[in-house]
């Protein structure tokens, strides 16, 4: 490694992220200047220059600083990034939108960077195209950031879902030999070089495919970035819907599977390559859930359509079947796209509790070390296997569980840690719902908003209730509460507890 690269690695991670954020601001600046919208591009260009200077100054002041514990410092930087970067990202957005406030710009950037996708600007024509590009780009970069940190920081620390398989205490390093050979900064660089070509390549491939499917180049780019990051951020306030038809939805569905399993990304560290994909617990659990929800809702749709004397429209039923499966997969990966036929399915069936199903899927969430949020499929699978084993013991009390040591750890220590996380998640829901009701929000909207924030599924607010819940109508206190919930849902409570544990205060 060259000397200048070594110097860059010695900088605090937060300073590097600030410099990357400054460079990213040049993208909407160039786009706005290409459209001759100089009032929009100028704030991004000036903010990029100012943030680059600020990053250089802080970097020079901290270049010789050596943290006492590199692993914990990067975990602190992960949380610090969600506290600091949205404030910096909101500066050009605030200046480019004349009729907004900085706190609204902060909420929008926090929502984008956490890949929640909750927007305050859902009125068509309110924002310039370059601002929609900035929202989508921040969400895309936020998706890569949590993917990289999940692999390079959380997984080695036995956090982020891998504690279910590890059988070790929370925060314990999975491989001390790796830590002795390469420090966390080198790990982050190595995994960034490994992951970014795949992440960017998948985005480019979906962008080209959606363009051929009939989307405009700009809309296709925003759709591709929203899909890969599972942010669900779409331009012109058309949040939660896909307008390119069944062909575009099928393309998106293929790439939504990246939010279920990390197997498609390079590196043997991310998954057991020797395990067939049909036996991958996350993949099996995801497709079982999608299949179950699709079958139940489809039968309900079928019955509702027959009652409405529309049972002879067989092609429409196949469209409804696909629309239900696509919507279930999208909310399971915490993206929040709704199929074109989802509204028709609701009307046909007359089902009034569809929101509970979408909320349940969002709470379960996607795979470990992916861009998806929620409780995570691996934790749900561990609890399912424990329940299955306990049911077998009721029938055969003296039976001995098989399937190897890995399965036994999953049913014992893994299920125990998964249950702890599930209880923390449930307690977080209760606390945030209570806080929202104290600031004047009704119970039903408060529950929907809480789950949308904790599971990082912003479009859930549009589809889960009888009427859409608009983030733009919330007060300042409610926005702050939901902002804290989005950060907690993105970094997970176990990572926060690992930093607050008394055993780490001496480090």
Can you give the pLDDT at residue 140?
97
Lowest mean pLDDT of 40-44, 235-239, 249-253, name the range.
235-239
Can you give the pLDDT at residue 64?
73
Torsion over CA: 30, 36, 38, 43 (sign): negative
- Give the C-alpha separation, 457 to 144, whole Å: 17
In a 10 Å sphere around its CB, with 0-12 CB exposed, 13-18 middle and 19+ buried, how is residue 50 labelled?
A: middle
Looking at per-residue pLDDT, the higher value among 2 and 179 belongs to 2
Q: Are 255 and 347 in contact (CB under 8 A)?
A: no
Which tokens go with 94?
């605030």
Whether residue 114 has pLDDT greater than 80: yes
The neighbouring-strand residues paired with 338 are: 241
Tell me the pLDDT tens digit for each residue of 447-495.
999 999 999 999 999 888 888 899 999 999 999 999 999 999 999 877 7
Lowest mean pLDDT of 77-81, 370-374, 456-460, 501-505, name the range.
501-505
Position 346 confidence tier, pLDDT thresholds 50, 70, 90: low
Whether residue 174 has pLDDT greater than 70: no
Can you give the pLDDT at residue 198?
94
Sequence-ordered list of residues with C-beta below 8 angstroms from that of 480, at least 6 positions apart, any chain: none
- Give the C-alpha separation, 171 to 195, whole Å: 24
Lowest mean pLDDT of 258-267, 289-298, 324-333, 395-404, name the range.
395-404
- Give the C-alpha separation, 228 to 226, whole Å: 6
Q: What is the mean pLDDT of the chain?
A: 83
DSSP letter assigned to residue 442: -
Whether residue 247 has pLDDT greater than 60: yes
- Specify the 3-state DSSP secondary structure of 78: helix
Lowest mean pLDDT of 150-159, 271-280, 368-377, name the range.
271-280
**For the chain, how far is it from start to end, CA to CA, in angstroms?**
29
- Give the C-alpha separation, 232 to 358, whole Å: 15
Reference 194, options 148, 161, 138; nearest CA is 148
Average pLDDT value for residue range 33-52 = 95
Can you give the pLDDT at residue 190?
87
Of the ranges 94-98, 106-110, 383-387, the best mean pLDDT one: 106-110
Looking at per-residue pLDDT, the higher value among 215 and 2 belongs to 215
Can you give the pLDDT at residue 166?
62
Position 267 confidence tier, pLDDT thresholds 50, 70, 90: low
Tell me the pLDDT tens digit for each residue of 82-99.
999 999 999 999 999 988
Average pLDDT value for residue range 49-60 = 93
Reference 367, options 274, 262, 255; nearest CA is 262
Residue in the block written with tokens 């331009």: 235
DSSP letter assigned to residue 150: I
- Give the C-alpha separation, 106 to 86, whole Å: 6
Can you give the pLDDT at residue 505?
44
Can you give the pLDDT at residue 404?
57
Q: Are 231 and 116 in contact (CB under 8 A)?
A: yes
């Amino acid at each position: 490694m060259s000397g200048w690269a070594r110097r860059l690695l010695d900088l605090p991670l937060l300073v590097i992220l600030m410099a990357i954020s400054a460079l990213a601001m040049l993208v909407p600046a160039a786009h706005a200047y290409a459209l001759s919208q100089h009032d929009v591009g100028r704030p991004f260009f000036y903010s990029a220059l100012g943030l680059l200077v600020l990053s250089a100054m802080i970097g020079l002041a901290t270049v010789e600083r050596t943290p006492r514990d590199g692993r914990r410092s990067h975990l602190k930087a992960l949380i610090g990034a969600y506290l600091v970067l949205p404030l910096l990202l909101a500066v050009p957005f605030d200046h480019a939108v004349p009729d907004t406030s900085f706190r609204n710009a902060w909420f929008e950037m926090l929502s984008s960077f956490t890949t929640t996708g909750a927007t305050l600007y859902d009125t068509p024509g309110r924002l310039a195209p370059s601002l929609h590009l900035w929202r989508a780009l921040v969400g895309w970069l936020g998706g890569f950031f949590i993917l990289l940190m999940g692999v390079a920081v959380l997984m080695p620390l036995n956090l982020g879902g891998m504690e279910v398989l590890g059988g070790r205490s929370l925060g314990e390093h999975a491989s001390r030999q790796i830590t002795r050979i390469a420090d966390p900064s080198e790990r982050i660089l190595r995994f960034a070089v490994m992951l970014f070509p795949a992440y960017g390549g998948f985005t480019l491939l979906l962008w080209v495919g959606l363009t051929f499917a009939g989307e405009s180049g700009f809309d296709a780019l925003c759709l591709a970035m929203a899909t890969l990051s599972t942010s669900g951020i779409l331009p012109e306030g058309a949040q939660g819907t896909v307008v390119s038809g069944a062909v575009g939805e099928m393309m998106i569905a293929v790439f939504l599977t990246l939010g279920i399993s990390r197997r498609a990304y390079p590196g043997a560290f991310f998954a057991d390559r020797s395990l067939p994909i049909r036996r991958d617990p996350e993949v099996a659990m995801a497709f079982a859930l999608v299949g179950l929800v699709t079958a139940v809702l489809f039968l309900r749709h079928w019955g509702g359509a027959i009652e409405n004397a529309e049972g002879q429209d067989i092609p429409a039923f196949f469209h409804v079947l696909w629309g239900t499966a696509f919507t279930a997969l999208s909310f399971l990966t915490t993206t929040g796209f709704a199929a074109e036929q989802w509204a028709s399915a609701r009307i046909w069936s007359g089902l009034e509790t569809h929101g509970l199903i979408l909320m349940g899927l969002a709470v379960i969430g996607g795979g470990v070390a992916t861009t998806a949020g929620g409780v995570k499929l691996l934790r749900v699978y561990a609890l399912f296997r424990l329940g299955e084993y306990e049911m077998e013991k009721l029938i055969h009390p003296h039976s001995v569980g098989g399937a190897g040591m890995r399965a036994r750890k999953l049913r014992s220590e893994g299920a125990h840690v998964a249950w702890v996380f599930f209880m923390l998640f449930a307690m977080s829901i209760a606390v945030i719902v209570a806080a929202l009701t104290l600031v004047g929000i009704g119970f039903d909207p408060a529950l929907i908003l809480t789950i949308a924030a904790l599971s990082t599924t912003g479009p859930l607010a549009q589809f889960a209730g009888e009427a859409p819940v608009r983030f733009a109508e919330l007060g300042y206190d409610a926005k702050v509460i939901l902002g804290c919930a989005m950060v907690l849902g993105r970094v997970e409570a176990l990572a926060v507890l690992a930093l607050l544990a008394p055993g780490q205060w001496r480090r």
